[in-house]
Amino acid sequence: MADYQTEHQRSLADPSAYWLERARDVHWFKSPTRGIDTSRSPYNTWFDDGEINACYNALDVHVENGRGEQPALIHDSPVTDSHTTFSYRQLRDQVARFAGVLRSRGIERGDRVLIYMPMIPQAVIAVLACARLGAIHSVVFGGFAARELAVRINDCSPKLIVSASCGIEPGRVVEYQPLVNDALQIATAGVSGCIVFQRPQSHWAMTPGRDLDWDAEMAEAEAVECVPVNSTHPLYILYTSGTTGSPKGVVKDTGGTVVSLKWTMSAIYNVQPGDVYWAASDIGWVVGHSYIIYGPLFKGCTTVMYEGKPVGTPDAGAFWRVIEQNRVKVLFTAPTAFRAIKRVDPEGSFLQHYDISGLQALYLAGERCDPDTLQWAQDKLKVPVIDHWWQTETGYSICANCQGIEPMPVVPGSPSVAVPGYDVQILDEDGTRVATGDIGSIVVKLPLPPGTFINLWGAEARYKSGYFDHFPGYYETGDAGFIDDDGYVFVMARTDDVINVAGHRLSTGAMEEALSNHPDVAECAVMGVHDELKGQLPVGLVILNDGCTKPHEQVKAELIKQVRDDIGPVAAFKLVAVVDKLPKTRSGKILRGTLRSIANSTEWNMPATIEDPSVLEDVTQSLRSLGLAREPS
């Protein structure tokens, strides 16, 4: 096993040589001779003279190398009481045929296909079929509302939408057709059609001339081969919330993604071909892209796709059942999942009913892992519990305890050290490195390693201004924290107003926009407050228009519904209070930082710039009515 310090230093000293060496571990139609081109930094490119196909690396190469009968994808669905396994050969054949469906409908290299599906195998098939053709997929989480879906349609202008008739939540069926219909009415970009997979739990009423049935199309389709694309060709667009409420279409390239994700499977997660790997996430998030679909399949692992919850499907032993039944070696999930399990079963009694001895490690990411949850998981599972930190923009870990390079001591509260390829530093507002242990902005010195984002879709200027202009020569992560004497990074908080609800990054600006759209709202503010289960929850404060005679409880119920309709249930927006005024600076800025501190019952100082200090007392009382801003004990 390699030495971490040696690996990390090599990756920074000569990035091109380091990653070209790792590029030899993947299949190329034309092998690259160049590593990184920084001539247009920060618009850097990796392996730009190479030709590759992501689907070939995920499926075909394993079939050709004798692993065709190995399980590639296990679909474990307690909400439908089903368990389905696809071998590499079966999955390759299904993907090749659906790629034929797409091609028959005019999809070629560079076209966009929007995928709006629940956690079913057909979603994986659709993603890989796009990659097979060199089409660019954009997966939208099935829980997002019609307006959010329409925004993404307008931004990436997909030729086709691939959807399903419904998603399934515990106790309810979520019909997708009304959401897609509404989105297409709202959107201004034209979409030529929808390919729909009908699930038995709900029927999508087909619109003649627009909608196509998945099964009928597959019955007539011819399988197609992989299309070689340049390494720099976009593989996918994935939208992430921006602080303005306008989503950002993060673009990942093909070659860099294949090389980096395959490498991470062994270097970070210490898994090998044939091992069973389970990322308990959703394909609508970057974790699902990287570690339900691409990473495990590039490596030749068996990947588990879970359609259920950590509790309630049927109980707090759900995860342990999946681990035992599917022989899971590594589990990757969000801390909120373990907080939910711990809340229902604090003693871990359900573990007694299952054999999870095959589990070798638990990885947590998506939000900061509190030390209590990490300690609980360690005590109950008796395996290494590894917090690691990354972002949609990077696609894999910035900091991690790399089990396949050199396992290091776990330090609660830290995602460990910088992964090879990342030069992580802490800067003050002037761009000067701070002293060890001091808090500042967490940045990564350029160049970023392969597999990280190469641009924002249709927003090249925003890519540069939003991530690289504040600290020239560095990628600004938007997080604040510090590095200790041993090189361990501690990520303490966001530096913007994007909040993290159960691992989902959501914009408070978008929620404020939804509240402001209500006819009775004159002004509002939304901030994130700490929550033991979900990490953060949004809290809204609203000022009503003069003359509004509705009861406040009625208005609040309408506002909660409005955010649910505009943003989606993932926002978990339930806390809202009506106030007379909001605390502002003399220049008119709402003091959101002060509001957060009051709501979280943490220490704060009276801002010197506040216009009317008496407003804070009234707002504090309103927050206490929501169970926040507790009196010191």
Higher pLDDT, 536 or 590: 536
Burial of 462 per CB tally in 10 Å (0-12, 13-18, 19+): middle
Tell me the residue ranges of DSSP E strands in 532-633. Answer: 535-544, 575-578
**Quick one: 498-624 is in which CATH superfamily?**
ANL, C-terminal domain (3.30.300.30)
Task: Report whether pLDDT(11) > 90.
Answer: yes
Q: Are strands 234-240 and 166-169 parallel, antiparallel or unpaired?
A: unpaired
Tell me the residue ranges of DSSP E strands in 457-565. Answer: 474-483, 489-494, 498-501, 504-507, 521-531, 535-544
| Same CATH fold assignment for domains 4-308+388-477 and 498-624 | no
pLDDT band at 585 (very low <50, low <70, confident <90, very high): low
Q: Are strands 45-46 and 51-52 parallel, antiparallel or unpaired?
A: unpaired
Task: Report whether pLDDT(252) > 70.
Answer: yes
Looking at residue 584, its pLDDT comes to: 76
Tokens 């943490």, residue located: 602
Looking at residue 243, its pLDDT comes to: 46
The type of residue at 18 is Y
Contact 113, 139 (CB under 8 A): no
- CA 400-402-407 angle, to 5 degrees, is 120
Model confidence over 20-49: pLDDT tens digits?
Answer: 999 999 999 999 999 999 999 999 999 999
Query: What does the pLDDT average to over 303-311?
Result: 96
Strand partners, 526: 540
Looking at residue 583, its pLDDT comes to: 87
Task: Report whether pLDDT(472) > 90.
Answer: yes
Percent of the residues in the chain that have a pLDDT greater than 90, as a whole number:
71
Percent of the residues in the chain that have a pLDDT greater than 70, as a whole number:
95
Task: Report whether pLDDT(291) > 90.
Answer: yes
Q: Torsion angle of alpha carbons 230, 235, 241, 244, nearest 10°?
A: 40
Query: Does CATH number 3.40.50.12780 belong to domain 4-308+388-477?
Result: yes
Looking at residue 569, its pLDDT comes to: 83
Contact 359, 338 (CB under 8 A): no
Query: What does the pLDDT average to over 495-507?
Result: 68
pLDDT band at 536 (very low <50, low <70, confident <90, very high): confident
Higher pLDDT, 306 or 147: 306
Looking at residue 633, its pLDDT comes to: 46
Looking at residue 128, its pLDDT comes to: 98
Query: What does the pLDDT average to over 253-266?
Result: 98
Phi, psi of 362, rounded to the nearest 5 degrees: -120, 130
Model confidence over 53-88: pLDDT tens digits?
Answer: 999 999 999 999 999 999 999 999 999 999 999 999
Model confidence over 312-354: pLDDT tens digits?
Answer: 999 999 999 999 999 999 999 988 888 889 878 888 999 999 9
pLDDT band at 489 (very low <50, low <70, confident <90, very high): very high
Rounded-to-integer distance, Cα 423 and Cα 496, Å:
22
Computed over every residue of the chain, the mean pLDDT equals 92
Domain boundaries, the chain: 4-308+388-477, 498-624
pLDDT band at 362 (very low <50, low <70, confident <90, very high): very high
The type of residue at 428 is D
492 contacts: CB under 8 Å, gap ≥ 6: 368, 439, 479, 480, 481, 482
Task: Report whether pLDDT(176) > 70.
Answer: yes
Q: How many CA atoms lie within 13 A of 615 on its CB side?
A: 17
pLDDT band at 524 (very low <50, low <70, confident <90, very high): confident
